[in-house]
């Protein structure tokens, strides 16, 4: 009996803090806003897919994420995560032409592709299967209206339902 009790007490922290959820779906509000879907492969790893919009276009982002649950001593509900990925989509803009006394706008569309980074904090509630997060997603466009466009400060607020 003592051995069984000791084994339960030793394994309890691993059981109590392990990932209970396999998926999450949510919204992201920021420079790149949209809908995201996360698949947890284990406690420390996940894949995230973001269907986002920016620059009057739509992009699909895919990330590999890494989660760290034990970075903060004051709570185990605050999770640090980071990752990397890529995106593909399109963007639209208006090109302004001036010729003599007349001017006009022409709508342009370009394919967009690039690389993404991701760093953030997420707070998971125990009472309800919801998490709130703050993240930054710097990106580097290889294709698009501007070749080699870099944006370091794509900050966003996220809300996710965990299931």
Q: Which two tokens stand for residue 119?
A: 């760093």
User: Beta-carbon neighbour count of residue 109 at 10 Å?
Assistant: 12
CATH number of the domain enclosing 90: 2.40.160.20
- Which of these, 52, 54, 46, 121, lies nearest to 84 by C-alpha position? 46
Residue appearing with tokens 């007490």: 9
Q: What pLDDT sits at residue 19? A: 54
Q: What pLDDT sits at residue 70? A: 87
Provide the sign of the torsion angle of the four alpha carbons 63, 69, 71, 75, taken in this order. Answer: positive
Indicate the number of domains in the chain.
Answer: 1
Predicted confidence (pLDDT) at residue 16 exceeds the cutoff of 90:
no
d(CA 102, CA 99): 5
Does 6 fall in a domain?
A: no
Write out the residue range of the structural domain in which residue 96 sits.
21-162
Residue-wise pLDDT tens digits, 17-71: 445 789 999 999 999 999 999 999 998 999 999 999 998 999 999 999 999 998 8
Overall pTM surpassing 0.85 (yes/no): no
- For a pLDDT cut of 90, what percent of the chain falls above it? 67
Does 125 fall in a domain?
A: yes
């Amino acid at each position: 009996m003592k051995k069984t009790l000791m084994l339960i007490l030793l394994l309890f922290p691993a059981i109590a803090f392990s990932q209970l959820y396999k998926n999450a779906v949510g919204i992201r509000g920021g420079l790149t806003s949209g809908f995201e879907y996360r698949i947890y492969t284990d406690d420390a790893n996940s894949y995230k897919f973001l269907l986002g919009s920016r620059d009057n276009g739509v992009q699909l982002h895919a990330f590999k994420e890494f989660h760290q649950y034990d970075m903060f001593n004051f709570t185990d509900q605050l999770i640090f995560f980071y990752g990397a990925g890529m995106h593909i989509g399109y963007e639209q803009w208006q090109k302004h032409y001036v010729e003599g006394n007349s001017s006009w706008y022409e709508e342009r569309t370009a394919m967009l592709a690039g690389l993404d980074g991701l760093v953030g904090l997420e707070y998971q509630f125990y009472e309800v299967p919801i998490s709130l997060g703050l993240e930054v997603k710097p990106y580097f466009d290889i294709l698009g209206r501007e070749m080699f466009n870099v944006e370091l400060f794509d900050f966003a607020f996220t809300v996710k339902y965990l299931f």
